[in-house]
Structure 1
Amino acid sequence: MHAQLEVLDRESPAPVRAFLARPPITPRQREVVALVIEGCTNVEIAGHLQISHRTVQSHVAAAMRQLEARTRTQLAVAALRSGLVPLHPVAGVSPPA
């Protein structure tokens, strides 16, 4: 397996290598991003996770930096494409009206 990863690393373009070398987002950031994917606002995420609005902002900003996203939509797409967050509804969260 290690040899296969070395081959993949050598043969991948620089942006792919950079992405693979990047540490993953934290478990809490995954929770926040999952709620972003559900369409929740920062205030709704704060209420659901029982954390402050400012903490949600920090988690969203950190995940956006990590995944090189400029918008919440880009964040959602990047998290789903990379497999960091699965595509399934979050328990107890209703989609926005």
Structure 2
Amino acid sequence: DGFADLMSSGTLTIQSHVSISSSSQDFSSIIRAICQSYQLTVVDQINSAASLYSETILGHPIALLFKSTNPQNGISIDGKSTETHFLSNLLEELKNFVE
């Protein structure tokens, strides 16, 4: 599919990561809320991991991998994009949103 092709193409050269030690919401609720608030689309979700995708207003692709990391609803977020500042700002915003 298009998402898998994008991920393997090498186009998304910028990578960033944030970790959240705990959250007051369960994993599925967090994914739903983030998708609604940030216009992200779930590409794939299996148990405690979800791949999300969107594009910026300028058409820059954003791919995110959310993983549940512990029983206290900890989450790790790995992001890939073509735009450094947007990705780092988005991950910081998502971290604040989830905490």
Length-normalised TM-score, structure 1:
0.28
RCO higher in 1 or 2 (8 Å CA, sep ≥ 6)? 2
Length-normalised TM-score, structure 2:
0.28
Structure ranking higher in strand proportion: 2
